């Protein structure tokens, strides 16, 4: 049997290939957002696509987040398969009315007559010293909303495959791309296929503690697991992949093996996705636990500019290691 060919590409390139592939496969697909065309995308994801597909399908928009997100909704309702790019999660708040009050509600509010098969991509997360209006992690807020799906591809393979799956969904899907991942390289099959988005992935198996995370924090968490392994602590690392719906089964199965959990979430701690996951563990696996659940979240502060302060504000490897050891009683 011949092994499928693989290529090594960046997360950014994987995302671009996914868009290009979708545009070639389906005439209904188009990309629209601020600077996606002539500029090539704020983070370079759509660079080169304008030349290949033209300005109708790689559609530069004015700075009208609510307007063009709503236009994506209408176009999706009329049978197109738009991909809307919002530069960052902070800017997505200008489109929150359309996302929450229209995209998420429409199927239910219309008694199942109208669906919104819209994909919205946006950058999220801190680490580039972009301060308090470009660096937040609000995907947990979006995961609060019934009627949408929320994806957080953390690997190059998921960056390549999740868009395909999302575009097949009859309902709105939000894809959060952590800004620190764009330059990361990884290996994907040359003939990429859509990936399953229903299940979380165990990225590292272990028996002593479950480290539950997603997106940009996955790699810090894997690094922390490697540090812990040096101290003979075998951590299991779970990449949630989908933040809504959450794959409770994979989380609980891991807890049943390890009996301890730490949740690593770049969102703020109060009212966060980590709080939701922690509560689900308490509801579903309380008697499996040997110790209180630990959390590593962002500090309750707008993300600051200065490098050392920004680093201190978001989850880092030493904090994950320390929290895991505390939960294990080995602090």
Partner 1 sequence: MTASAEKPHLSREHLLALLRQMIRIRRFEDKCAELYTREEIRGFLHLYDGEEAVAVGVIPVLEQRDRIVATYREHGHALVRGVPMKAVLAEMYGKQDGCSRGRGGSMHLFDRATNFYGGNAIVGGGLPMAIGLALADRMRGDDIVTACFFGEGAVAEGEFHESMNLAALWGLPVLFVCENNRYAMGTALALSESETDIQRKAACYQIASEAVDGMDVIAVEAATRRAVHVVRETRKPHFLECRTYRLRAHSMFDAQLYRDKAEVEAWRHKEPIVRFQGWLEANHLVHPDDLACIESEVAAEIAEAVSFSEAGTWEPVEQLTRFTHAEAEG
Which of these is catalytic: 34, 85, 134, 310? 134
Q: What does the block give as tokens for 175?
A: 């894809």
Which of these is catalytic: 34, 65, 139, 236? 65
Radius of gyration of the chain from its Cα atoms, rounded to whole angstroms: 20
Query: Which residue, 23 or 262, is less far from partner 1 as judged by CB?
Result: 23
Smallest distance from partner 1 to CB 101, Å: 5
How many alpha carbons lie under 13 Å from residue 106 in its C-beta half-sphere?
Answer: 20
Query: Which residue, 44 or 74, is less far from partner 1 as judged by CB?
Result: 74
- Give the span between the Cα atoms of 308 and 55, in whole angstroms: 42
- Give the span between the Cα atoms of 66 and 57, in whole angstroms: 19
238 bridge partner residues: 202, 212
Angle (nearest 5°) at CA 166 between 165 and 171:
130
Smallest distance from partner 1 to CB 249, Å: 18
48 within 8 A of 191, measured Cβ to Cβ:
no
Smallest distance from partner 1 to CB 197, Å: 13
Query: Which residue, 78 or 301, is less far from partner 1 as judged by CB?
Result: 78
Sheet holding 235-239, edge to edge: 201-204, 235-239, 209-213, 261-268, 294-298
Smallest distance from partner 1 to CB 261, Å: 28
Query: Which residue, 68 or 176, is less far from partner 1 as judged by CB?
Result: 68
β-bridge pairing 81-88 and 185-189: unpaired
| Closest C-alpha among 31, 32, 29, 131 to residue 90 | 131
Smallest distance from partner 1 to CB 53, Å: 12
121 bridge partner residues: 85, 175
Neighbours of 112 (CB within 10 A): 9
Query: Which residue, 160 or 241, is less far from partner 1 as judged by CB?
Result: 241
Smallest distance from partner 1 to CB 113, Å: 4
| Closest C-alpha among 251, 239, 326 to residue 283 | 251
- Which residues of the shown chain bind partner 1 in the complex (CB under 8 A)? 30, 56, 61-62, 64, 66-80, 82, 97-98, 101-102, 106-115, 146-147, 149, 170-171
327 within 8 A of 291, measured Cβ to Cβ:
yes
The maximal CA–CA distance of the chain, rounded, in angstroms, is 59
Smallest distance from partner 1 to CB 30, Å: 7
Residue with structure tokens 């807890």? 255
Neighbours of 312 (CB within 10 A): 14
Query: Which residue, 4 or 54, is less far from partner 1 as judged by CB?
Result: 54
Answer yes or no: 283 catalytic.
no
- Give the span between the Cα atoms of 23 and 111, in whole angstroms: 31
Answer yes or no: 65 catalytic.
yes
- Give the span between the Cα atoms of 224 and 327, in whole angstroms: 14
* Residue 228: alpha-carbon gap to chain centroid: 25
Query: Which residue, 24 or 207, is less far from partner 1 as judged by CB?
Result: 24
Active site residues: 65, 134
């Amino acid at each position: 049997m011949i092994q499928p060919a693989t290529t090594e590409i960046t997360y950014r390139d994987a995302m671009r290939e996914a868009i290009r592939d979708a545009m070639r496969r389906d005439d209904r697909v188009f990309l629209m957002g601020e600077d996606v065309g002539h500029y090539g995308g704020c983070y370079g994801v759509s660079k080169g696509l304008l030349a290949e597909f033209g300005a109708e399908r790689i559609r530069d928009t004015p700075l009208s987040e609510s307007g063009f997100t709503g236009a994506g909704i209408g176009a999706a309702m009329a049978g197109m398969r738009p991909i809307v790019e919002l530069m960052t999660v902070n800017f997505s708040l200008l489109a929150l009315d359309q996302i929450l009050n229209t995209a998420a509600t429409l199927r239910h509010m219309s008694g199942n007559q109208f669906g919104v098969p819209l994909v919205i991509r946006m950058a999220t997360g801190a680490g580039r010293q972009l301060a308090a209006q470009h660096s937040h992690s609000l995907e947990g807020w979006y995961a609060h909303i019934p009627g949408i799906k929320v994806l957080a591809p953390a690997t190059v393979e998921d960056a390549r495959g999740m868009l395909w799956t999302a575009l097949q969904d009859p309902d709105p899907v939000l894809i959060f791309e952590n800004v620190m991942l764009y330059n990361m390289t990884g290996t994907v099959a040359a003939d990429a296929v859509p990936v399953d988005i229903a299940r979380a992935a165990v990225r590292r198996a272990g028996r002593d503690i479950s480290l539950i995370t997603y997106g940009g924090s996955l790699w810090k968490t894997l690094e922390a697991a490697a540090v812990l392994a040096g101290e003979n602590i075998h951590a299991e690392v779970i990449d949630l992949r989908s933040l809504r719906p959450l794959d409770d089964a994979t989380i609980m199965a891991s807890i049943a093996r390890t009996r301890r959990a730490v949740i690593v979430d770049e969102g703020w701690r109060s009212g966060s996705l980590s709080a939701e996951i922690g509560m689900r563990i308490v509801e579903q696996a309380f008697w499996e636990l040997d110790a209180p659940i630990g959390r590593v979240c962002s500090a309750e502060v707008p993300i600051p500019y200065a490098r050392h302060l920004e680093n201190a504000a978001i989850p880092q490897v030493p904090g994950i290691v320390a929290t895991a050891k505390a939960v294990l009683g080995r602090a």
